[in-house]
């Protein structure tokens, strides 16, 4: 149990760090170029999927077992954080479009954690 908790913590810290870096990158890109928000919408979505995949991969490598559960918990924690931020800050619930995005985030994090578990097993043998 402690191993999984540590793995989740590593995954969430990785996701948070990568989100901060990506946010700074996109903020600088928006500020100093003529690119608009609507232009980079697809890139931000793909970046979010990749960040969740990487964070779940880190958690899966650290957990060494039950990757799909680790992926689900990573994704649900991320979605809960986003929901609370949006609800408490803007008094808005998720829209149907956002639910679809978070479904994609769930699949990406499950995939990342399963790959991480399998990569972790290969390194030890």
Q: Rounded distance, CA 55 to CA 49, Å?
A: 10
Average pLDDT, the chain: 91
Q: Rounded distance, CA 57 to CA 53, Å?
A: 6
- Asked if residue 125 belongs to a domain, the reply is no
CA dihedral over 44, 69, 65, 78, signed as positive or negative: positive
- The tens digit of pLDDT for each residue in 67-121 reads 999 999 999 999 999 999 999 988 999 999 999 999 999 999 999 999 999 986 6
Encoding tokens for residue 81? 């954080």
Encoding tokens for residue 32? 């100093």
- The tens digit of pLDDT for each residue in 4-34 reads 899 999 999 999 999 999 999 999 999 999 9
Domain span holding position 52 = 2-120
Q: What percent of the chain has pLDDT over 90?
A: 79
Q: Rounded distance, CA 43 to CA 75, Å?
A: 20
| 3-class SS of residue 11 | helix
Residue among 1, 3, 13 nearest 77 (CA): 13
- Asked if residue 106 belongs to a domain, the reply is yes
- Asked if residue 95 belongs to a domain, the reply is yes
- Asked if residue 50 belongs to a domain, the reply is yes
Q: Rounded distance, CA 88 to CA 116, Å?
A: 33
- Asked if residue 113 belongs to a domain, the reply is yes
* Total number of domains constituting the chain: 1
């Amino acid at each position: 149990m402690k191993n999984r908790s540590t793995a989740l913590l590593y995954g969430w810290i990785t996701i948070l760090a990568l989100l901060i870096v990506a946010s700074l990158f996109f903020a600088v890109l928006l500020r100093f170029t003529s690119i608009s928000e609507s232009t980079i919408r697809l890139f931000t979505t793909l970046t979010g999927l990749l960040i969740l995949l990487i964070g779940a991969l880190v958690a899966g490598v650290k957990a060494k077992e039950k990757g799909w559960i680790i992926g689900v918990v990573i994704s649900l924690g991320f979605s809960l954080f986003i929901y609370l931020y949006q609800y408490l800050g803007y008094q808005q619930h998720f829209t149907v479009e956002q639910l679809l995005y978070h479904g994609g985030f769930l699949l990406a994090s499950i995939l990342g954690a399963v790959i991480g578990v399998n990569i972790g097993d290969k390194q030890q043998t």
